Amino acid sequence: MQNPIPPSQRRALWALSLAYFVQATGALSVAGSLAAVSHEWGLSDGQSARLLSIFGLTFALAAPLAQIFFGHLMRKYQVLAGMLVFGLGALLFAMAADYPMLIASRIVMGLGASLIGPVLVALGAELVAQHDRGTAIAMILLGVSMASMVGIPLAAWIATTWGARELFALVALFSLLTALAVWLSVPNIVKGADIRFRQLVAVLAEGKSLAAFLVVFFITSGVYDMYAFISPLIRDNWHGTATSVSVALAVIGVAGIFGNLFVGRAARRYSAERLLVVGITLLIVDMLAIMILPANLMLLYLLLVLWAFSTDLLWPSQQRRVVEIATAETRGISLALTSAFMFCGIGFGSAVASWIYPLWGFYGVMLSAVLFLLLALISLLISERLRVRCLTLQPAACDIRESRCTKLA
């Protein structure tokens, strides 16, 4: 019989889970509070949505480079530095006098997040015994799920009720308090990884890996093409209020939890590729239904349940697939690149929405989101064919010591 995780380790894991909660809430709260941000600084919805894009693109560029330049540091120090920089960015947002200052603050927040996200799970997994790693990772990732279910809807309500400045002042405060919790409860015993630039280039040069990264890029582009503008979409197309937006975000969060629970069981029976195909297909069908069916808020909430369920079916499946196609030597950098492509997709998708919505409105945003998801399916097909070709033509090149399969094939 296995012993439970000791209380000291559980406290450390909950501190890391809180760090994920604060990061995810602070990063994505702009989407739920778009109207409040636009009102506070006199911006258009497109300008406000670009603040989400700027964060995502900053994270995408900085995350791999942060691991190259700072990955050798103790992981606890990386998380602490990231939380403090992230909190500083949130404070700058709260104090911003104009739009350029808002842009600068989101860049700072993106730089901070690039030090936090890629190492939290790796740090937590190394704090516990090997047989407890699955439980430890689940505890840490609960912070992300709770951000979707509680943090982002609550952030939208705070921004509407108290103001956008007050919201980001709270994000700054909780970032500081979380850094303190990490400092006090997480032992400084986990070393970083010494990642070389050539490893990054080698992984990106692999056809099957690059296509796999494009899958997550196009998925997140499609999801956040819609999600970034969910507040003005509900306001303009469904004539909803700020409360309607908060309810929609809460529905997405709760339904996402069930998606996570389902994929955990389904992964035992189905391949990651099959789950990705099912999830993307359901998402496309759901978005088309949102476009075609009458603009009724209750009907929208029901469709958002399927939307969130499908979306949360995709993230774990994509991570699992990257782990399966990577070698032991490239697995760490592959997961870091997956996060980078994910946030690049968040930035790109929300940027596209900020450009399309003023020109073509609701239908333009939804059709572009569907197009991104179709590109994700095509990328998945290409990646899978390259993986099978690799195994068929040159199986020796696909073992643990090689990572250049497509070149040999």
The model's pLDDT over 242-289, given as tens digits with 9 standing for 90+, comes to 889 889 988 988 887 777 678 767 777 888 889 899 999 999 999 999
More confident residue, 265 or 237: 237
DSSP conformation class of 395? G
Q: What are phi and psi of 193, to 5 degrees?
A: -115, 135
Nearest to 28 by CA among 97, 90, 115: 90
Query: Band of the pLDDT at 403, cuts 50, 70, 90?
Result: very low
State pLDDT tens for residues 299-357.
Answer: 999 999 999 888 878 877 887 787 677 775 666 677 678 878 888 888 888 889 888 98
How far apart are alpha carbons 399 and 11 in whole angstroms?
39
Q: How far is CA 132 from CA 120, 176, 188, 267, in A?
A: 16, 29, 19, 19
The CA-based angle 189-343-192, given to 5 degrees, is 15
CB 404 within 8 A of CB 397: yes
The CA-based angle 223-357-255, given to 5 degrees, is 30
DSSP conformation class of 326? S
Q: CATH number of the domain at 196-393, out of 1.20.1250.20, 2.70.98.20, 3.40.50.300, 1.10.3720.10?
A: 1.20.1250.20
CB 281 within 8 A of CB 370: no
Nearest to 170 by CA among 42, 25, 58, 273: 25
State pLDDT tens for residues 89-147.
Answer: 999 999 999 999 999 999 999 999 988 877 887 788 788 887 777 677 778 877 887 88
CB 114 within 8 A of CB 59: yes
DSSP conformation class of 6? P
CB 321 within 8 A of CB 212: yes
Instruction: Report the helix count and the strand count for the chain, using DSSP H and E.
Output: 16, 0
Question: Which of 132-141, 158-167, 227-236 bottoms out in mean pLDDT, i.e. has the lowest?
Answer: 132-141
pLDDT for 332 equals: 64
380 three-state secondary structure: helix
Nearest to 229 by CA among 15, 8, 30: 30
CB 31 within 8 A of CB 228: yes
Task: Indicate if the pLDDT at residue 6 is higher than 80.
Answer: yes
At 320, which amino acid appears? R
- pTM comes to 0.79
DSSP conformation class of 149? I
Q: What does 31-100 look like in DSSP terms, one character per residue?
A: HHTHHHHHHHHT--HHHHHHHHHHHHHHHHHHHHHHHHHHTTS-HHHHHHHHHHHHHHHHHHHHH--SHH
pLDDT for 78 equals: 93
**Region of 162 on the Ramachandran plot (φ > 0 left; ψ -120 to 50 alpha; else beta):** alpha
Count CB neighbours of 301 within 10 A.
Answer: 17
Q: HSE (CB half, 13 Å, CA atoms) of 393?
A: 12
Query: Band of the pLDDT at 399, cuts 50, 70, 90?
Result: very low
Question: Which of 39-48, 199-208, 244-253 bottoms out in mean pLDDT, i.e. has the lowest?
Answer: 199-208
Homologous superfamily of 10-195 in CATH?
MFS general substrate transporter like domains (1.20.1250.20)
10 Å CB burial of residue 391 (0-12, 13-18, 19+) is middle
Give the mean pLDDT of the chain: 86
> Where does CATH 1.20.1250.20 sit in the chain?
10-195, 196-393
pLDDT for 201 equals: 82
Task: Indicate if the pLDDT at residue 231 is higher than 90.
Answer: no
